[in-house]
């Protein structure tokens, strides 16, 4: 009997513990559930905040990228291409059909031509042209010949013929060729562009020395002086002086025309060169090319405006080199005929050329004046 009571009490204790545990478990479940719910909502809340921040960060990165892309200066027509594949410039270097560019040696690269000599030529002046070409090739220039008479085959006798670039179009001027075949992006590899006539003597001229002088003097636009004893001199500023390597102005106190002294800041006293043998730096040529009018093939009037392309002060950056001088023979070219070749059936077109040149000069001056008046944003740096 006693054992039964003891068993009953034990059973009651077990039941009591079981109820207590169930009660405790039932109390924990809601708390845990509540905690899980809180954690879930907290996670969702913070995840949403994180996603929002991540989205804003991505949008900022994208905006920054778009802004950077907008600020990129892309050449028209190249926007569809990745930047790294765009080749903005070219050169006039000839490449053989069977010679890969990567086979070039380091020595060849170091000796690569850095300057360009371009000249309008006719077969009648082949002896003078031969001397000019040989002089510039010996100084490692790229040489480009514009054949205004359309004749190319008759130059085959010269050993340098296959080492120069030939462009042949009949009855066109040097400036017609230059506007079409010397675009700044095509000649961007060359430090200086020599754009000369053919009737020049270069016995006392050395291209390397000339380049060295204009570099040291800071000349963006220049020309070699003319030997006044042997040359046809049209303007005083081109005549050779003997007191210095370079002169940038002339002095004129009496006679007709404009007075020129140390205070003069504009052509014809300073800031320009003649167009028979100009030399342009890369930067100056980029500017001059845009000033050449496509339809005004003789470029008259351009000389007096060259100072605007001098990359600064035209009284300092434009000059005539006396130390390296040339001879201007003034031979008839551009359709002209030598006196002993003129017959009753032939016509000397030089009269027509001169007439058209004067007409183009008037047109250019009017265009310049109109452009100045219509461009409200342009400020004349010399006024």
The residue-averaged pLDDT of 250-259 equals: 83
pLDDT value for 66: 61
pLDDT value for 76: 75
pLDDT value for 283: 97
Q: Is 191 a residue whose pLDDT tops 60?
A: yes
Conformational region of residue 171, where left means phi above 0, alpha means psi within -120 to 50, and beta covers everything else: left
Q: Which of 55-59, 64-68, 338-342 has the lowest mean pLDDT?
A: 338-342
Strand partners, 54: none
Q: Give the model confidence (pLDDT) of 278-334 as tens digits.
A: 999 999 999 999 999 999 999 999 999 999 999 999 999 999 999 999 999 988 776
Q: Give the model confidence (pLDDT) of 61-120 as tens digits.
A: 766 666 666 656 767 787 888 888 888 888 888 877 877 665 555 455 555 569 999 999
pLDDT value for 298: 94
pLDDT value for 305: 97
Q: Give the model confidence (pLDDT) of 306-316 as tens digits.
A: 999 999 999 99
**R_g of the chain computed on alpha carbons:** 40
For 116-151, what is the HEC assignment? EEEEEECHHHHHHHHHHHHHHHCCCCEEEEEECCCC
pLDDT value for 349: 76
pLDDT value for 127: 96
Confidence of residue 45 (pLDDT cuts 50, 70, 90): low
The residue-averaged pLDDT of 236-246 equals: 94
pLDDT value for 346: 56
The residue-averaged pLDDT of 188-192 equals: 96
Strand partners, 194: 117, 279
Q: Is 53 a residue whose pLDDT tops 80?
A: no
* Structure token pair of residue 72: 């990129």
The residue-averaged pLDDT of 45-51 equals: 70
pLDDT value for 27: 60
pLDDT value for 32: 67
Confidence of residue 369 (pLDDT cuts 50, 70, 90): very high
Residue environment code for 65-93, b if the CB has 16+ CB neighbours within 10 A, otherwise e: eeeeeeeeeeeeeeeeeeeeeeeeeebbe
Confidence of residue 3 (pLDDT cuts 50, 70, 90): very low
CATH number, domain 105-252+259-338+347-369: 3.90.550
Q: Distance of CA 171 to CAs 120, 177, 251, Å?
A: 11, 11, 39
Model pTM score: 0.77
């Amino acid at each position: 009997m006693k054992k039964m009571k003891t068993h009953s009490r034990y059973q009651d204790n077990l039941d009591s513990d079981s109820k207590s545990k169930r009660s405790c478990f039932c109390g924990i479940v809601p708390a845990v559930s509540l905690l899980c719910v809180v954690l879930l909502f907290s996670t969702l809340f913070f995840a949403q905040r994180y996603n929002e921040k991540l989205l804003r960060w991505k949008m900022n990165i994208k905006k920054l990228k778009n802004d950077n892309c907008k600020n990129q200066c892309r050449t028209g027509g190249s926007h569809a291409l990745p930047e790294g594949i765009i080749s903005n410039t070219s050169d006039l270097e000839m490449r053989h059909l069977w010679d890969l560019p990567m086979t070039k040696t380091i020595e060849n690269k170091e000796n690569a031509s850095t300057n360009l000599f371009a000249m309008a030529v006719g077969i009648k002046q082949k002896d003078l042209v031969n001397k000019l070409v040989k002089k510039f090739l010996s100084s490692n220039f790229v040489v480009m010949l514009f054949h205004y008479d359309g004749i190319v085959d008759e130059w085959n006798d010269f050993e340098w013929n296959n080492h120069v670039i030939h462009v042949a179009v009949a009855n066109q001027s040097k400036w017609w060729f230059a506007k079409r075949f010397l675009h700044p992006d095509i000649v961007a590899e060359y430090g200086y562009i020599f754009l000369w006539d053919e009737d020049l003597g270069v016995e006392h001229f050395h291209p390397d020395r000339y380049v060295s002088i204009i570099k040291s003097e800071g000349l963006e636009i220049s020309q070699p002086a003319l030997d006044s004893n042997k040359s046809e001199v049209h303007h005083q500023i081109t005549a050779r002086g003997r007191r210095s390597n370079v002169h940038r102005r002339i002095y004129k106190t009496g006679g007709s025309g404009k007075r020129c002294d140390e205070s003069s800041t504009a052509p014809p006293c300073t800031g320009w060169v003649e167009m028979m043998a100009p030399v342009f730096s890369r930067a100056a040529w980029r500017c001059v090319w845009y000033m050449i009018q496509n339809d005004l093939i003789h470029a008259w009037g351009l000389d007096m405006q060259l100072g605007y392309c001098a990359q600064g002060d035209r009284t300092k950056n434009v000059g005539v080199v006396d130390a390296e001088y040339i001879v201007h023979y003034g031979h008839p070219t551009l359709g002209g005929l030598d006196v002993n070749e003129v017959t009753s059936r032939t016509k000397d077109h030089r009269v027509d050329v001169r007439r058209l040149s004067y007409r183009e000069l008037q047109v250019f001056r009017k265009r310049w004046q109109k452009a100045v008046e219509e461009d409200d944003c342009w400020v004349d740096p010399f006024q």
